[in-house]
Amino acid sequence: MKIEQIYTGCLAQGAYYIESNGEVAIIDPLREVQPYIDRAEANNATIKYIFETHFHADFVSGHVTLSKQTGAPIVYGPNANPSFEAIIAKDGQEFKLGNVTIIALHTPGHTMESTTYLLRDENGKDYAIFSGDTLFLGDVGRPDLAQKGKELTQEDLAGYLYDSLRTKIMPLADEVIVYPAHGAGSACGKNMMKETVDTLGNQKKMNYALRADMTKEEFIKEVTDGLLPPPQYFPLNVKMNKEGYEDIDEVLERGTRALSPEEFEVAANETGAIVLDVRNPEDFVKGHIPRSIFIGINGGFAPWVGALIKDTKQPILLVCPEGREEETVTRLSRVGFDNTLGYLKGGFEAWSEAGKETDSLVSISAEELKSRMEKEDLPIFDVRKDGEFTASHIETAHFTPLDFLNDHLAEFPEDQTFYVHCAGGYRSVIAASILKSRGIHNLVDVAGGFAAIKNAGIPVTNYVCPSTLK
């Protein structure tokens, strides 16, 4: 038996390759499926099943394409109703894979079709669970993504999740290995551990949601407390996972068309495409196409695209580092943004050399910010997340989180220069690009973010551990 966790850091997502005696199961595959096919062929094995733990909201799974290319059936748990052909497993249904067995344990709560897959080894012993978004390391899946108004509230789902954990997962042996669908950084939970594999016994000790003496009322309160609104692209990804989508090869063919500066400009004007610049923040600061949006490929790229661009059907034109065009289109497609129309051939340098209009971003060091703060009161805007801001911030800073920047546009002064910072410099450049695209240009980026601000000796509030505020 072979189990391989294929972890994608940008999405904080784990897909799984399970092989036994020449037969393979894939759990929650990514959009680009060729690596799974290559793995199986290299081992002279056949992909027999494609298991989906639920209809994912934060990424588009590769289940449809993988099934099409291999003939392997897609398996969902009870209550799933996809538009394509699939096996809808019954609770407790067994699937033979070589010398091992995979059992569908219906664990509703994160969503109503959520299913945990229990793996039993060659000796019939419970070996591992693939828990999807039901159980994370240190946390559980948020119960608000499948709510349907008064018919099904997040409290109802949290109650289902409580029962699922206590009747299906907690009775399993402590040595059972937990393989979750996500790790720290995913928007599908609140307080996930940085580790991506653990034992169930350790989770029973470490995970607040598995506390043995916890009542259902306490569980519901703790799990629903402090939930921020989910990113707006989540329902669109669910729809694609449920109804199907365009083949990745077609998306790549369209998205990797090389466009001259003239063709690029015409395409932008005719289609209303967003110009998405994915270079390093330092390069964007020095020069960029006016009204382009920066979201760097080297940061938390795909989730930020989903959170900020929101509409997966939005046409997109790319400004990329040379050689990373296909990677960019692929990573956009992972979160459902399939309408990439091409990229700027020769990059920003070609645009500039063609005599096209350019723009830049004013950026200063934290030391310079300190010097200016000593001379006058400056409007400073912190675009980090709530927990980061609560933990510590510049005493006079306004809190305008990047996730919800569009809700704060009226707070930025129109007739005074203001300053924007994040933790390290990546998100502040994203925020600045969005503001400039809205016609707000009287801003200055603080390079190095809060880390540099503290090092420069700018007064900040005393540190408060976010976990103590729950």
Model confidence pLDDT, tens digit, residues 175-218: 999 999 999 878 777 778 889 999 999 999 999 999 999 999 99
DSSP letter, residue 313: T
Residues 77 and 196 in one domain: yes
Mention every residue, 6+ apart, whose C-beta is less than 8 A from residue 210.
Answer: 135, 165, 170, 203, 204
CA angle 238, 239, 242 (to 5 degrees): 85
Residues 295 and 313 in one domain: yes
Residues 143 and 67 in one domain: yes
What is the rounded CA–CA span in Å between residue 33 and residue 31? 6
In a domain, 358, yes or no: no
Q: Is 424 exposed, middle or buried (0-12, 13-18, 19+ CB in 10 A)?
A: middle
In a domain, 380, yes or no: yes
Query: Average pLDDT per run of 10 along the chain, which is 470 residues long?
Result: 94 96 98 96 98 97 98 98 97 98 98 98 98 96 82 94 98 98 82 91 96 96 89 93 96 98 98 98 98 96 92 97 97 97 98 98 98 97 95 97 92 96 98 96 98 97 70
Identity of residue 394:
I
Closest alpha carbon to 96 in 2, 168, 15, 24: 24
Residues 37 and 157 in one domain: yes
Residues 349 and 297 in one domain: yes
Give the count of beta carbons closer than 10 Å to the beta carbon of residue 8. 15
Residues 140 and 174 in one domain: yes
C-beta separation of 86 from 104 below 8 A: no
Residues 15 and 91 in one domain: yes
What is the rounded CA–CA span in Å between residue 381 and residue 96? 56
For the stretch 32-74, pLDDT in tens is 999 999 999 999 999 999 999 999 999 999 999 999 999 999 9
CA angle 432, 437, 443 (to 5 degrees): 35
In a domain, 184, yes or no: yes
Q: What is the CATH number of the domain that holds 314?
A: 3.40.250.10
Tell me how many domains the chain contains: 3
Residue-number span of the structural domain to which 286 is assigned: 246-353
Residues 89 and 167 in one domain: yes
Give the count of beta carbons closer than 10 Å to the beta carbon of residue 250. 10
Phi, psi (rounded to 5 degrees) for 426: -75, -55
In a domain, 121, yes or no: yes
In a domain, 450, yes or no: yes
Q: Please identify, among 235, 254, 284, the residue that sits at the C-terminal boundary of a domain.
A: 235
Residues 255 and 212 in one domain: no
Residues 272 and 169 in one domain: no
Residues 343 and 373 in one domain: no
C-beta separation of 52 from 63 below 8 A: yes
Give the count of beta carbons closer than 10 Å to the beta carbon of residue 222. 17
Give the pTM: 0.91
In a domain, 240, yes or no: no
In a domain, 241, yes or no: no
Residues 13 and 37 in one domain: yes
Q: What is the CATH number of the domain that holds 36?
A: 3.60.15.10
Q: Please identify, among 200, 235, 270, the residue that sits at the C-terminal boundary of a domain.
A: 235
In a domain, 407, yes or no: yes
Q: Please identify, among 298, 323, 353, the residue that sits at the C-terminal boundary of a domain.
A: 353
Mention every residue, 6+ apart, whose C-beta is less than 8 A from residue 125.
Answer: none
